[in-house]
Amino acid sequence: MSGENEGEKPVKSWKRFARLKPNRKLLRRSARKIETATLKHAHRFIIRRLDNARDVRRHALSWLALMILLIGLSVLHLTMYQGAFSKIAPVSGGTYAEGVIGALDTMNPLFASTSAERAASKLLFASLLSYDRENKLRGELAETWTSGDDGKTFTVTLRDHLKWHDGEPLTVDDVIYTIGLMKNPRINVALYRSWADITATKISDRQINFTLPASYAPFPHALTFGVVPKHILAQVPIERMRENSFNREPVGSGPFAFRNLQIINQDASRLVVYMTAFDTYVFGKPKLDRFQLHTYKDQSQLKHGFLTDEINAAADLTSNDLSSIAATKSDAVVSKALVDNGVFALFRNDSPILKDQTVRAALQQATDRPEILRKLHGYGRLMEGPLTRDQLPAVSRQAAFDRQAAAQRLEAAGWSLSGGVRQKAGVPLTLNVVAPKSGDYQTVVDALAQQWRQIGVDVKVDLASPATIQQNVLVPRNYDVLIYELAIGADPDVFAYWHSSQIGSLGFNLANYSSAVSDDALSSARGRLDSTLRTAKYEAFTQQWLKDVPAIALYQPRLHYVADETTRTLTSQTAISDATGRYRAVEYWTVNRDRVNNTP
């Protein structure tokens, strides 16, 4: 048996298991069942829920659209509500930065002479009287003012509780001290001649009496000088008054108080005066928190300062600069308030050529004044005599422009053309025409020279430095024709410019004009308290002035002032007494805007 087993082949171990043969039909059936079950589960748990997700998404989008609609309606409602019950308006606060041209050596109102100095002193110092928005006198430091029946005495009562910027009380003593300085010939202030014969007497701490040598109706207009503090200056020797540190570190009683003076460049032509609102200013604390006054050397630097936003506003720009800025800077607003001044071509009536009234009349007739205004882009209003239209409606007009008639007038007077220039007895018709080298004078003098040359006048033009024109031109009367702006003021008293007593180096009769008729009318007008009688006297003076032609009244200038549109400054088109009249309501100026509720 064992032998038989030894002869058999061994069986491999893996063959002991039966071969597994897959049942393909069964597999297919199972696969179909699994597939069917999978599809059922997918449809039940995924597809059907996707439909639900779509519904959820649709509902969510609907709610979102509804919320957006509700928010939009709310915003629209709020906007409409705000529009109905609120508005964007100027608000208090902020810093106003104004640029001016000229040196600033003093801020003392007694010595201020340049545009920058007058601007600073006006902001820092209050006056007894000042001008309101309608260019009418109002009490500033003064509460009341009355005149005697004779027109030679005036009584002024100060307001209660007046203060200086340092907190010290301001009284009548300060007013009398200031007048004493103006009357002192050793100080030599510009107002010396106006106050030399006036006596100021203290009645009480709040009341002062003025006594004049003669009746003078416009005296209240003389009370617009800045009052300075006695408690600071009384200890300063008279000979050192102009050099005292007070002039650079002033203490006043105006709407703004001095805080600091910054020197920007080495030659001190670029300065910044920093001022803050005075809490107890007589008309209330200004809306502005701070006021900066920037000085510039010339128009080009001032224009650059405004265009680069160094400053909010600029004064003293030329009409060409203003037109350029208006075309360049869309948010610039140009103000056009008339100034109670007049720009004249002043003939030196005693010069060898111009002492002949025929020559003066011919030059007037050869002057196309409307054309000059066009060259100034309309920044002015034609004048017809020595007074503005608002002060005295024109009783008659200057001769109309007629070049041919002007030439014939000269020809009849013996001035014949020879080589393009008129001559008489071998003397050429040559005129030295002088104007300050500032503002629009260049444009005006160039236009005049061109017009006069067309009738055979040899015109020599000289532009004088504003810094030296007083000593080199005005005092010695070094000109044949002077193109100059005369400060007339709110009152029509022009005695200083046209009365023969004012001829001479110390007087303001720059035309050296002398007429007995004009002298009588001007003197009489000053003493008339009745406005109708005063007007009659000024009409008589104007008629004689037009007949004599001592000058050509060219135009009444407009204030050259530009500011950002966000600021609120000049709000009235009423004429201002002088350039600093732009500050007549400075306490209401603003630089900021915000939404505020409408008041009922």
Question: C-alpha angle with apex 98: 97 to 104, nearest 5 degrees?
Answer: 115
- The contacts of residue 64 (CB under 8 Å, 6+ apart) are none
Is 70 exceeded by the pLDDT of residue 33?
Answer: no
Is 80 exceeded by the pLDDT of residue 371?
Answer: yes
553 band by pLDDT with thresholds 50, 70 and 90: very high
- Per the prediction, the chain carries an average pLDDT of 89
Is 90 exceeded by the pLDDT of residue 494?
Answer: yes
| pLDDT for the residue 421 | 97
- Helical segments of 89-169, H only: 115-124
Report how far apart, in Å, the C-alpha atoms of 301 and of each of 102, 321, 335, 576 are.
11, 11, 20, 26
| pLDDT for the residue 42 | 55
Question: Rounded to whole angstroms, how far apart are CA atoms 505 and 489?
Answer: 22
54 band by pLDDT with thresholds 50, 70 and 90: low
Per-residue pLDDT tens digits for 515-536: 999 999 999 999 898 889 999 9
Burial 116-135 (b: 16+ CB within 10 A, else e): bbbbbbbbbbbbbbbbeeeb
Report how far apart, in Å, the C-alpha atoms of 174 and of each of 46, 106, 205, 229 are.
98, 20, 10, 6
- The contacts of residue 377 (CB under 8 Å, 6+ apart) are 319, 320, 322, 323
17 band by pLDDT with thresholds 50, 70 and 90: very low
Mean pLDDT calculated for residue range 270-294: 97
Is 50 exceeded by the pLDDT of residue 199?
Answer: yes
Is 50 exceeded by the pLDDT of residue 492?
Answer: yes
210 band by pLDDT with thresholds 50, 70 and 90: very high
Q: Could you tell me which of 591, 510, 492 has the C-alpha nearest to residue 550?
A: 510
Mean pLDDT calculated for residue range 140-149: 96
Pick the range with the lowest mean pLDDT from 148-157, 346-355, 562-571: 562-571
Mean pLDDT calculated for residue range 202-229: 96
| pLDDT for the residue 319 | 86
Q: Could you tell me which of 268, 237, 230, 269 has the C-alpha nearest to residue 251?
A: 230
| pLDDT for the residue 289 | 97
Query: Beta strand pairing status for 481-487 and 142-147?
Result: unpaired
Of residues 30 and 11, more confidently modeled: 30
Mean pLDDT calculated for residue range 307-318: 92
Pick the range with the lowest mean pLDDT from 244-258, 360-374, 581-595: 581-595
| pLDDT for the residue 270 | 92
Phi and psi dihedrals of 57, rounded to 5? -60, -40
User: In this structure, are residues 410 and 362 in contact, taking their beta carbons and an 8 Å threshold?
Assistant: yes
Q: What percent of the chain has pLDDT over 70?
A: 86
| pLDDT for the residue 73 | 74
202 burial type by CB count under 10 A (0-12 exposed, 13-18 middle, 19+ buried): middle
Q: Could you tell me which of 79, 104, 178, 115 has the C-alpha nearest to residue 487?
A: 115
Per-residue pLDDT tens digits for 415-452: 999 889 999 999 999 999 999 998 899 999 999 999 99
| pLDDT for the residue 29 | 67
| pLDDT for the residue 396 | 79
Question: Rounded to whole angstroms, how far apart are CA atoms 377 and 371?
Answer: 10
| pLDDT for the residue 193 | 85
User: In this structure, are residues 456 and 310 in contact, taking their beta carbons and an 8 Å threshold?
Assistant: no
* DSSP state string for 508-545: S-TT----HHHHHHHHHHHH--SHHHHHHHHHHHHHHH
Sign of CA dihedral 240, 241, 243, 244: positive
| pLDDT for the residue 12 | 44
18 band by pLDDT with thresholds 50, 70 and 90: very low
Specify the pTM. 0.82
SS (H, E, C) 278-292: CCCCCCCCCCCCEEE
Task: Write out the two tokens for 559.
Answer: 């204030």
- What number of other Cβ atoms are within 10 A of residue 158's Cβ? 24
Tell me which amino acid residue 392 is.
L
Of residues 17 and 57, more confidently modeled: 57
Place of tokens 């506003």: 313
Percentages helix, strand, coil for the chain (3-state, rounded to 5) are 35, 25, 40
Is 60 exceeded by the pLDDT of residue 147?
Answer: yes
Of residues 164 and 528, more confidently modeled: 164
| pLDDT for the residue 402 | 97
How is residue 46 annotated by DSSP?
I
Per-residue pLDDT tens digits for 92-107: 899 999 999 989 999 9
Is 50 exceeded by the pLDDT of residue 6?
Answer: no
User: In this structure, are residues 320 and 443 in contact, taking their beta carbons and an 8 Å threshold?
Assistant: yes
